[in-house]
Structure 1
Amino acid sequence: MTLLSRRSLLKTAAGTVPVLVAGTLPDRPADVLVTGVVPAALAGLDTVVKTYIAERGITCAQLAVVKNGKLVLARGYGTYMTPAPPGEQQFLARVQPTSLFRIASLSKHITATAILRLVQDGKLSLSAPVTTLLGLSTAGDSRLKDVTVLRLMQHLGGWDRDVSGDQLWLDHTISAVLDVPLPISQSDIVAYATPRPLDFAPGSKMVYSNYGYLLLGRIIEKVSGMTYEAYVKQKLLTPVGISRMSIGHSLRAESSASEVGYYSQYTNTTVMDESRAVVPYPYGGFNMPNQGANGGWLASAVDLVKFSGVFDAAGPVLNAASIATMVAKPEIGMSADGSWYGCGWYVRQVTGHLNTWHSGSMPGTYTYLARLQNGITYAALFNRREETGTPDYDVLSARMNEAFGKVTTWPTTDLTSQYF
């Protein structure tokens, strides 16, 4: 089915709802349809998300909240057209609490957990150089030997995307420089980056690096002898009862049956083949499988809050020492605002607790996950990110924090068994 730039209308019990084909933008926010459970005591949280998506023209969203280990809120917002191969019929579906979203950089704490599990099992050292583990040459910059596993996890590796570009988003450049066809592979990305000088001395400062997490994924594969995805599923997800998560695909026709559609006002020249065709940015404008350990996972909000329980106490995935390593201050200390980047999480000390959080962003995706004081964990997922003309997306956390502060009584019913 070809992508359309118009809306059709569907009559439902809730009224007339815009039906959107993936890759297009709505003329106005949809009259939101909802699924799942929001107890009356938590209605303020539901209102925050409804207001947020209406302001931004977001058509698919999720919210899940855990309090003291219990899933107390699980909500889906909006509708999407189910994926289908060309020529096959698409159907309108409501976003469920279990629908899948691209989670972008919320993948990073999953990758960091996999690394720490390998360390915990005695198969890897945090001080091991990436050059030794992956057989990388230091001819381009002798400082590459100083890039360790821990420095990769804490974004201290020496790459600055504002200086030399983000290697995960240079497909056309890498294809031309290496004289290899599109789509390029992760091996091509590494072959392009390795001979180039680092942008700063490893360990001297924190600069966010998607490429560093690509390297971590390849280390996981080299050390475990498994694919990155298979290792994460076997060692991290299955032990805690999570089965829906997987690495996503680039094209809409390849999407999971329960995966929402993604929307962007932008297009891009495809990186999936040599046609140079202009495509909706979320569908072929970047290579989703290459994102892998950096930002490639599909998950639901309930999956993410359930997985976050791994960090609450020692269990089948991580022991206490590994959890402590994940949130430890890096060698450069904390930033000016009192926070620091641990292993896949931003971290801040509050009275009696370490708050941890992360956001994710790619064309067609904005996500946020936070573990707060008072036993609160929440995940919010959206099928659009901030673009020209859209309101600030970063206001979400402040609005949610304000709403949490107004909750006077918490539900005691645990919804976990409804979704796992």
Structure 2
Amino acid sequence: MTTLSRRNLLRASAGLVPAVALGARPAQAVLAPVVTTSGTAPAALAGFDNVMKTFVTERNISCAQLAIAKKGKILLARGYRYSDGSQALPSVTPTSLFRIASLSKHITAAAIMRLVQDGKLSLSTPVTTLLGLSATADPRLKQVTVLRLIHHLGGWDRDKSKDPLWLDHTISASLDVPLPISQDDIVRYVTARPLDHDPGSKMVYSNYGYMLLGKIIEKVSGMSYESYVKQKLFAPVGITRMRIGHSLRSEAEATEVVYSSQYTQKSVMDDSGSTVPYQYGGFNMPNQGANGGWLASAVDLVRFSRVFDAAGPVLNAASITKILAKPEIGISADGSWYGGGWYVRQVPGNLNTWHAGGMPGTYTYLARLQNGFTYAALFNRREEQGTLDYDVLSPLMNAQIGKVTTWPTTDLTSKYF
């Protein structure tokens, strides 16, 4: 942290305002921004709490959350509001809802494995068979299996052909369909075009591939993607708040935070051509669905992460092993690999897993590390032009783990569910 940012944080904590000289006409007070918190942060875990306060202060992030669990017990649950108090903004609680972006992917992978576990789906089945897709535009589409979709091995490269989840206007014009477009429109557009490389040849992150997994879940289960996940994954572990989000601020859930972005975009919700805040109507949130459409709180995410720790009511041991297994292309140069909705790395005696998420107005991070340590951090703003690096959050948090001398024993789970 720079000297200036430390000074600003100290001033914010103290609530300092500029002094007024004796005999001078009082100037209008300038309110210093301050971080207000809610929830529970034990003294033994104050280092994590301080990392979050500094992080949001330096980046001017108005809403954030942190939850920490160890060996199944939730030990810290915090909401953060950074504001100068000039606006009447609601507080952020440990159960406020945030868009979690790509942290949705491990949920989708778990839903796929639950269908496999129940004998309703095979990971080797081609997507063309499951969804009735034509391979006329590219016969290689028949080689795209469920397992390859999970591992981002489907053959699409957004750096070459762009990400179709963010091409609403292009797809609308190409298919001559009105806005908002549907997931079926996206599938029709992409299926009519060739793949960018051979399926299974290399890992290239694909939001579209995970959107297809959501379509597969619906086709095989006979339920909507959201309903299936709620019934088969969330209900068995007592999670009730999580749901698919909406695009517009007027559609937000009662406990959902307000998202922030400095950018505007032409609306994808209608054909008016109007310019809107990027985070509210500049992309289609329900279409993100299985790829990045869920709302959750940090405590929800650390609670759900437990289904990957050991066999339970959601996944058995074989399903967990398969989600975390190395893909057919092996490991990357840094020793990690992409499993089912998780980046994975082997460390002595443990598999560390993690994932980040981002979209306009959202940055999220979830990690499961050695010694049973899990944390989720959610923010209502992502890194944009002129802001500081957000990727430093992970090493900052990891550095605090070794500084904890005594871990709290009080489990906060029942307090926030």
Corresponding residue to 1:272 among 263, 269, 272: 269
Structure 1 residues 100 and 199: alpha-carbon distance in aligned structure 2, compared to 1, 3 A threshold: same
Pairing partner for 1:220 from 217, 222, 229? 217
C-alpha distance in 2 between matches for 1:321 and 1:16: 57
Shift of 1:30: 3.7
- Unaligned 5+ runs, structure 2: 1-12, 18-29
Pairs within 5 Å for 1:157-306: 157-306=154-303
Unpaired runs of at least 5, structure 1: 1-12, 18-26, 81-89
Contact 1:104 1:297 in 2 (8 A): yes
Displacement of 1:28: 10
Q: Residues 25-104 of structure 1 correspond to what in structure 2 (within 5 A)? A: 30-78=33-81, 92-104=89-101
Q: For residues 92 and 397 of structure 1, what CA distance do their matches in structure 2 show?
A: 28
Q: Distance in 1 between matches of 2:397 and 2:148?
A: 32
1:126 aligns with 2:123: yes
Q: Percent identical across equivalent pairs?
A: 76
Q: Structure 1, residues 293-323: CA drift from partner, whole Å, max 9, x if none?
A: 0000000000000000001100000000000
Preserved CA contact (<8 Å) 1:30 1:59: no
Distance in structure 1 (CA, Å) of the matches to 2:16 and 2:105: 39
Distance in 1 of aligned mates of 2:225 and 2:371: 34
RMSD: 1.7
Deviations 1:130-171 (A, max 9, x none): 000000000000000000000000000000000000010000
Contact 1:29 1:59 in 2 (8 A): no
Shift of residue 195 of structure 1? 1.2
Larger radius of gyration: 2
Name the CA distance, whole Å, in 2 between partners of 1:101 and 1:30: 22
> Does the 8 Å contact 1:65/1:305 carry over to 2?
yes
Counterpart residue type for residue 400 of structure 1: M
> What corresponds to 1:4 in structure 2?
none
Helix, strand or coil at the partner of 2:371: coil
Q: 2: CA distance between counterparts of 1:253 and 1:274?
A: 19
Query: For the structure 1 residues 270 and 315, does the alpha-carbon distance in structure 2 shift closer, same or farther, using more than 3 Å as the test?
Result: same
TM-score computed with the length of structure 1 as normaliser? 0.91
Corresponding residue number in structure 2 for 1:414: 411
Q: Summarize deviations over 1:191-232 as a string: whole Å, max 9, x none.
A: 000010000100000000000000000000000000000000
For 1:32, the aligned partner's letter is V
Contact 1:79 1:94 in 2 (8 A): no
What secondary structure, in the 3-state scheme, does the structure 2 residue paired with 1:279 have?
A: strand
Partner of 1:151: 148
**Alpha-carbon shift at residue 31 of structure 1 (Å):** 1.1
- State the alpha-carbon separation in 2 of the partners of residues 404 and 285 from structure 1: 38
Report the residue type matching 1:362 in the other structure: M
The answer on whether the counterparts of 1:327 and 1:343 sit within 8 Å (CA) in structure 2 is: yes
Are the structure 2 counterparts of residues 363 and 16 from structure 1 closer, same or farther at C-alpha, using a change threshold of 3 Å? farther
2:370 partner SS: coil
User: 1:79·1:93 contact (CA, 8 Å) conserved in 2?
Assistant: no
Q: Which runs of 4+ in 1 moved over 4 A?
A: 13-17
